[in-house]
Amino acid sequence: MTETAVKVDRHWLSARDRSVITILLVAAFVVILNETALNVALTSVMNDLHVEERTVQWLTTAFMLTMAVVIPITGWLLQRITTRSAFILAMSLFTTGTLACAIAPTFALVLVGRIVQAGGTAIMLPLLMTTVMQLVPPSHRGAVMGNISLVISVAPALGPTMAGLVLQFASWRGVFATMVPIGLAMLIGGVLRITNVNEPVRVPLDWLSIPLTVLGFGGLVYGLSLIGDDSVPTIELVSAFTVGILGLGAFVWRQLRLARRDRALLDLSAFLHPTFSLSMVVMALAMMALFGTVIMLPLLLQQALHLPPLSVGLILLPGGLLMGVLGPVVGRLYDRVGPRPLMLPASVVVAGVFWALSTIQPETPWWFVLICHMAMSASFAFMFTPLFTIALGSLQPKLYSHGSAIVGTVQQLAGALGTAVFVTILASQSEVAQDAGAGLEASLLYGSHLAFLGAGAVWTLAIVAIAFLKSPETVGAAPSMH
């Protein structure tokens, strides 16, 4: 990231606060970059450690599961410990897990390292968002949230590219080895420069809530990750969803009871703020659309348009970079004009992109997909920064950490759901077309057309919801659960 990407106005933040936010932004960039870097190295891991495809996918699945389980706990954790302690914990877990992956002699130990990595990653983004809400005045939050959008957008886009470059000169271990000194540098920098900006509260930990997060969020994400895999027994899929739904129901019930005594692990009273709830609906729909499209386009580009993997990566890279570059710009615009002038036109463009993608044919030029992806990425840039700012800005300060945890959890669940829904529609409708005598290309495109049209239809809900969103400054006092 460039210096301008993390630049913060000197007039409304002290030197200490600027330093804290800058370090957290760079650290978040590093840990999120790692999240997608391994994807292009999975084949190398399979060949080196002699594991099958479904086994090696656990390096990705276990990472997602750990994120889904740990993020809800950060609502309690970030209240309980200081900013500095939370940063040291997150970067220590990340760096330790990365080092373990780089030197692990067996697949099982690489998997353990990925789980430890994910634990640190899950803490970092809620820590960054909570700290920004604590330090930045409301009139300037959009600008800083724009930098967070840059991190969230650019880091995943650059991860596979960075890993691909490393793999030109080293094995898959080099992908992890490259991250170790960076993680250590960030950890040392944080120890030296980060000061505490919060006042820890002695909130008791409800131990029963932790296994409920594992069963609820872990079960749902695992079940969603199995959709579309024909090798998975039906009983495994049904069991995962059953455990997830029951676990999530029990978790919500317990949090509502604990909230009456201010002891909730994840305080769901944030949802009593209408603006926060509406923002989470739009966030969920946007993440479903984004992740679903990201999983679909590579399949179509390779199998229907017959483009090589490198070309596919280059076609999708500009969109991710554009989304990130626009983040700070959108943040400053938000501080001036508010959310709806930015989000409503962007949401209409997303609907148009879904329609355009539903028209792809074998003879469609690659630049058509590039333009569609860039238009969608730019539109999401105009939506995510206002959504983060509106959602957290509508909460009382005591709910910032819980709100950040809810935002992260919604992102994880919605992303997994979007991937599962798109893959399911694509696979099922492609089979229908093949049974009717269509070839592989035609059947894939038929399935993708229905998936994109269906997504566009559901997306109209997001357009309607955005029309009712209000800036935090116009939101009234929050209702109480007590």
Q: What is the predicted pLDDT for the residue at 11?
A: 57
Q: What is the predicted pLDDT for the residue at 473?
A: 57
Q: Which of 205, 220, 252 is the last residue of a domain?
A: 205
Task: Tell whether 211 and 200 lie within a shared domain.
Answer: no
Question: How many domains, the chain?
Answer: 3
Task: Tell whether 66 and 194 lie within a shared domain.
Answer: yes
Burial class (CB in 10 A: 0-12, 13-18, 19+), 171: middle
Let me know if residue 124 belongs to a domain.
yes
Provide the CATH number for the domain around residue 427: 1.20.1250.20
pLDDT in tens, 138-193: 878 888 888 888 888 788 777 877 887 888 888 889 989 999 999 999 999 999 88
Task: Tell whether 198 and 219 lie within a shared domain.
Answer: no
Per the prediction, the chain carries an average pLDDT of 85
Q: What is the predicted pLDDT for the residue at 383?
A: 92
Task: Give the residue, 160 or 256, on which the prediction is more confident.
Answer: 256
Task: Tell whether 184 and 222 lie within a shared domain.
Answer: no
Q: pLDDT class for 6, splitting at 50, 70, 90?
A: very low
Task: Give the residue, 83 or 149, on which the prediction is more confident.
Answer: 83
Is 206 in contact with 263 (CB distance < 8 Å)?
A: yes
Task: Tell whether 357 and 293 lie within a shared domain.
Answer: yes
Q: Is the pLDDT of residue 382 over 80?
A: yes
Q: Is the dihedral of CA 439, 442, 447, 448 positive or negative?
A: positive
Q: Which of 264, 283, 308 is the last residue of a domain?
A: 264
Let me know if residue 246 belongs to a domain.
yes
Task: Tell whether 71 and 30 lie within a shared domain.
Answer: yes
Please tell me the distance from the alpha carbon of residue 325 to that of residue 2, in angstroms, as a whole number.
11
Q: Is the pLDDT of residue 8 over 50?
A: no
Task: Tell whether 23 and 64 lie within a shared domain.
Answer: yes
Q: What pTM was computed for the model? A: 0.82
Helix (H) or strand (E) holding 41: none
Rounded average pLDDT over 92-106: 95
Let me know if residue 2 belongs to a domain.
no
Task: Tell whether 241 and 273 lie within a shared domain.
Answer: no
pLDDT in tens, 189-226: 999 888 887 777 777 888 889 999 999 998 998 888 88
Is 141 in contact with 133 (CB distance < 8 Å)?
A: yes
Please tell me the distance from the alpha carbon of residue 214 to that of residue 69, in angstroms, as a whole number.
5
Let me know if residue 5 belongs to a domain.
no
Let me know if residue 22 belongs to a domain.
yes
| Closest by Cα among 312, 342, 348, 337 to 462 | 348
Q: Which of 205, 229, 253 is the last residue of a domain?
A: 205
Task: Tell whether 187 and 80 lie within a shared domain.
Answer: yes
SS3 state at 26? helix
pLDDT in tens, 425-477: 887 888 888 777 777 788 888 888 888 999 999 999 999 999 988 877 544 43
Let me know if residue 216 belongs to a domain.
yes
Name the amino acid, one letter, at 229: D
Least confident of 187-201, 354-368, 377-391, 425-439: 425-439
Q: Is the pLDDT of residue 9 over 50?
A: no
Q: What is the predicted pLDDT for the residue at 475?
A: 43
| Residue 50 main-chain phi, psi, to 5 deg | 60, 55
Could you write out the DSSP letters of every residue in 215-272? IIIIHHHHHHHHTT-TTS-HHHHHHHHHHHHHHHHHHHHHHHHHHTTT--SS-GGGGG
Q: Which two tokens stand for residue 358?
A: 């539903």
Task: Tell whether 140 and 157 lie within a shared domain.
Answer: yes
Task: Tell whether 226 and 125 lie within a shared domain.
Answer: no
Q: pLDDT class for 348, splitting at 50, 70, 90?
A: very high
Let me know if residue 292 belongs to a domain.
yes
Task: Tell whether 60 and 194 lie within a shared domain.
Answer: yes
SS3 state at 10? coil
Question: In terms of residue numbers, what domain contains 84?
Answer: 14-205
Let me know if residue 224 belongs to a domain.
yes
Task: Give the residue, 389 or 204, on which the prediction is more confident.
Answer: 389
